[in-house]
Structures are given as C-alpha cells and as structure tokens.
Amino acid sequence: MPPTRRTATVEFVRGSVRGTRRRALATLPSLFTLGNMMCGFGAILVSIRGDHTVAAALIGLSVLFDIIDGAVARLVGAVTPFGLQFDSLADLISFGLAPALLAFTLFSEGRDEWDPVGWVVCFLWVACAAIRLARFNVSIDPTADKRYFIGMPSPGAAGVVLASVFAFGDQMQGRDRLWVLLVMAVPAVLMVSNIRYRSFRSLVSPRSGKPYGPAAVAVVLVVAFALTPVATGIVLAYGYLFAPVLVPALAPLARWVPDPVKEALS
C-alpha cells in the first residue's frame, strides 16, 4: 500500500527517536571522559593547595573513569575518532599534568638549588605522557594484538605515583630524598619504551563473553581495597610497573594457577 501522510509522519517520528537515542548513546562515553578530565583538573588545583592525598585520590578516580568510558564506548558501539582524541586530551591532563604537579609540589619546598632537578624530571613525565598518547593515536593497528600495549599506559604510570603518595607521602618531602624522583623518571621512560604491557581491556569489556572472571577479580579488588587500601594499591601499581620482568620470572608457577583464572586473564 502507498504510504499515507499519517504513516509517513509516524515513520519520521520513529526515525527521529532512533536518531536521538543513537546520539545520546554516542555522547555517554564522552560524559565519563569529562569526569576523567574534571578529576584530573581538580587534582591539579588541590595539589597547588597542598592537599596531596586528595589529589592522589582524584587521580585514582580519573583512572576509574578512564576504564569506564572505554568499556561504555565498546558496549554502545560508540568508538569514534572524536572519542579517541577527546580521551587522549583528558588523559594528558589527568595522567600527564596532574601527576607531575602532584610530585613537584611534594618535592619542592620553595626556591632552592634542587628545584631545577624537580622541574626537569616532572617535565620529562609530561613530555613522555604526551608522546605516549600521541604515538598511541597515530599507530592504531586493527591487526595488532589487543591484549597488549606498546609502552606502559599512562593510567598505569599515574597509578605508580598515586600509590606512592598514599604509601610514602610523608617520606617524599625534603631535599635529602632525591630518590623519590625515580617514582617519576622510571614510569616516564617506560611510557615511551617498546616494552609490551598487558592491556586487560578484555577483562572490563561488557562483550568479553567471560563474565565470571572479571566479576571475581572485581570482588577480590573491592575486598582488598576495603581491608588494606595502601598495600593493595602498592602491590597493583608496582606489580604492573615491573610486570614485564615479573611475569617471565614467575612463569614456572603458572601450573599452580587454576584454569578458570588463566582463561580469564588470557
């Protein structure tokens, strides 16, 4: 039957609703990216004020938002070039500028002969984070192994800084402790290295087809953070930092790991 004015109007309204729904779904990941950026910006502000623990907590929230926005984008099919670029800009604020300023405000007690060392190391961090994000954006290979990143991802590197602040914040202040700059220099260099780091994106993907493994990991992490947050953060952050060395060294112990755990992490 030829379409009438009524049926044409109904189809137009339905199409508009579907288009609005698609646009809303496409916008949803960007809202989490904005949350990531907002927490990173807040961390910068409170670092200047001297609230280092609060700044570290805000960077931790940025990491959480960064994980969620990628998972949501894959869930709703809204992985777009705009989203990738927007996410990288947010990451540069939250995992580039915010950790660098947090570390410098901890390290610096005012103008003295050691401040230029802090400037150089903290700028090294920002530069390496920017290079890492730019390299990731221009070298996306659809045929590459999605289980691995080339170079340490910037959220993981930022995790080393915030875990160190929670665990050793009182010992990170003062000119007689220059070793703390290694907390910045080592992850910074690893961000631009060619060392492979496990991605774990499959664990947080809503379409991974392995719901029990991620759920079990999430429960274990929640319990661990509730009981011993500082120790759990240190183990996770530094374990990931040294994973390229630890994983081959601990490979002989893999036979003792239950098969469901191996399958979830594969």
Residue of higher predicted confidence among 171 and 74? 74
Q: What is the pLDDT of residue 157?
A: 93
What tokens appear for 4 in the block? 């009438």
Whether 223 maps to a domain, the answer reads: no
The alpha carbons of the chain give a radius of gyration, in whole angstroms, of 22
**50-77 mean pLDDT:** 88
* 98 Rama sector, left if φ>0, alpha if ψ -120 to 50, beta otherwise: alpha
- pLDDT over 60 at 176, yes or no: no
Does residue 31 sit within a domain?
A: yes
pTM of the model: 0.80
Q: What is the pLDDT of residue 25?
A: 66
Structure-model confidence comparison of residues 98 and 223, the more confident one: 98
Q: Is 7 within the bounds of a domain?
A: no
Work out the pLDDT band at 13, boundaries 50, 70, 90.
very low
Overall domain count for the chain = 1
119 vs 144, which has greater pLDDT? 119
Cα distance between residue 233 and residue 95, in whole Å: 17
**DSSP category for residue 260:** H
Residue 17, in any domain of the structure: no
- Would 216 be classed as within a structural domain? no
Q: In this structure, is residue 120 part of a structural domain?
A: yes
How many CA atoms are closer than 13 Å to the CA of 233, on its beta-carbon side? 22
pLDDT band at 12 (very low <50, low <70, confident <90, very high): very low
Structural domain for 163, as ranges:
27-202
The pair of three-digit structure tokens given for residue 261, joined into one six-digit string: 């755990």
Three-class secondary structure of residue 149 per DSSP: strand
Average of per-residue pLDDT values in the chain? 79
Domain CATH for 139: 1.20.120.1760
| 266 part of a folded domain | no
Highest mean pLDDT range out of 13-22, 67-76, 149-158?
149-158
Question: Taking residues 5-17, what's their average pLDDT?
Answer: 48
